[in-house]
Amino acid sequence: MSADWAVELHGVHRRYGRGRTAVHALRGIDLTLAPRTFTAVMGPSGSGKSTFLQCTAGLDRPTSGTVRLGGTEITGMKENKLTALRRTRLGFVFQAFNLLPSLTVEQNVALPTRLAGHRPDRRRTADVLAQVGLTDKARRRPGHLSGGQQQRVAIARALVTRPDVVFADEPTGALDTTTAAEILGLLRRAVDDQGATVVMVTHDPAAAAWADRVLFLADGELVDHLDRGTADRIAARMTSLTRPYEGAAA
Ligand code: ADP
C-alpha cells in the first residue's frame, strides 16, 4: 500500500433525521490510523461505535466530512465503485460469522475474490486457511464447524484479498473466553506477521487489550485513547467514561 495512512477521517459527522428530533451519532471525528496497526474502538451503548464502523468502512455515508482508506477518498464515491472497493480492499468480520452455509469452507474463503470478478487463487486460499489452522476443514460446510472455527473461516475470508483494512464488529461477542482469545490472537498475527490493519469494535476490555491502541467514543466524539493498555486499565477507563463524575472525583 502506497498511502501513509490506512484510515483517515476528517471532520466526520453523521446525523440521523433532521430538526429537533435529529440524532448526532458522530460529532466531528478526526483520526488517522497507520498501516499494520490494530485499533480497538470502545464506548458506552449509543456512543456511536456502529455508526463509526459503518461510515469508516463505506457501508454508510457521513453527513459531512471525509473518509480515506489506503489513500483513496471514499466519500462521494458512486455506490458501484464503493462496492468494488469494499470487495477488493476491505475485509469484514462480524459477530455472527456471516458465512454462506451452502458453500464449503474454501468456497466461502474464495468468495470475495469471485465477487470481485477474479478467478480464485487456490494457493492463496490454502495459505489463509493454513494461517487460521483450518487446512483440514477446507471441504467441510460451516454448519459442521464450531463457532470458533466458523470465525476462523471468516478471518481467512477477510484476509484473502490482502485488504488495506479489516473491520471487525464484536468478532468475539458470540464466543467463550478461550475461543475468543484464539480469534484475537489470529487478528493480532494478521497485523504482526501479514501486515494487515485491523479496526475492531468491542465492548470487552479483554478483547481490546489485544490492540495497539484503544479509542474511546462518548456521545459521538473521540474522547480518549489508551496505548497498549491492559484489560484492567481499559476497563477502568471505560468506567470513567460511563460515570464521568465519579471518575473525576476519584
Ligand atoms: P453504539 O454502536 O455505540 O451503540 P450507534 O452508532 O448504534 O452506537 O448509535 C449512535 C446513536 O445514533 C444512538 O443514539 C442511536 O440511537 C442513533 N442511531 C443509530 N442508528 C440510527 C438510525 N438508523 N436512525 C436513527 N438513529 C440512529
Q: Mean per-residue pLDDT for 120-148?
A: 95
- Transcribe the chain into DSSP letters: --SS-SEEEEEEEEEES-GGG-EEEEEEEEEEE-TT-EEEEE-STTSSHHHHHHHHTTSS--SEEEEEETTEE-TT--HHHHHHHHHHHEEEEETT----TTS-HHHHHHHHHHHTT----HHHHHHHHHHTT-GGGTTS-GGGS-HHHHHHHHHHHHHTT--SEEEEESTTTTS-HHHHHHHHHHHHHHHHHH---EEEE-S-HHHHTTSSEEEEEETTEEEEEEES--HHHHHHHHHHHHSHHHHHH-
- Residue 63 CB less than 6 A away from ligand 1: no
Is the full-model pTM beyond 0.75?
yes
pLDDT of residue 243: 66
Domain 37-49+84-245: which CATH class? alpha beta
- Residue 247 CB less than 6 A away from ligand 1: no
List the chain domain ranges: 37-49+84-245
22-56 pLDDT, tens digit each:
999 999 999 999 999 999 999 999 999 999 999 99
Could you identify the atom of ligand 1 that is nearest to the CA of residue 220?
Answer: 10
Nearest CA to ligand 1 atom 14: 46
213-228 pLDDT, tens digit each:
999 999 999 999 999 9
- Residue 49 CB less than 6 A away from ligand 1: yes
- Residue 241 CB less than 6 A away from ligand 1: no
- Residue 23 CB less than 6 A away from ligand 1: yes
- Residue 47 CB less than 6 A away from ligand 1: yes
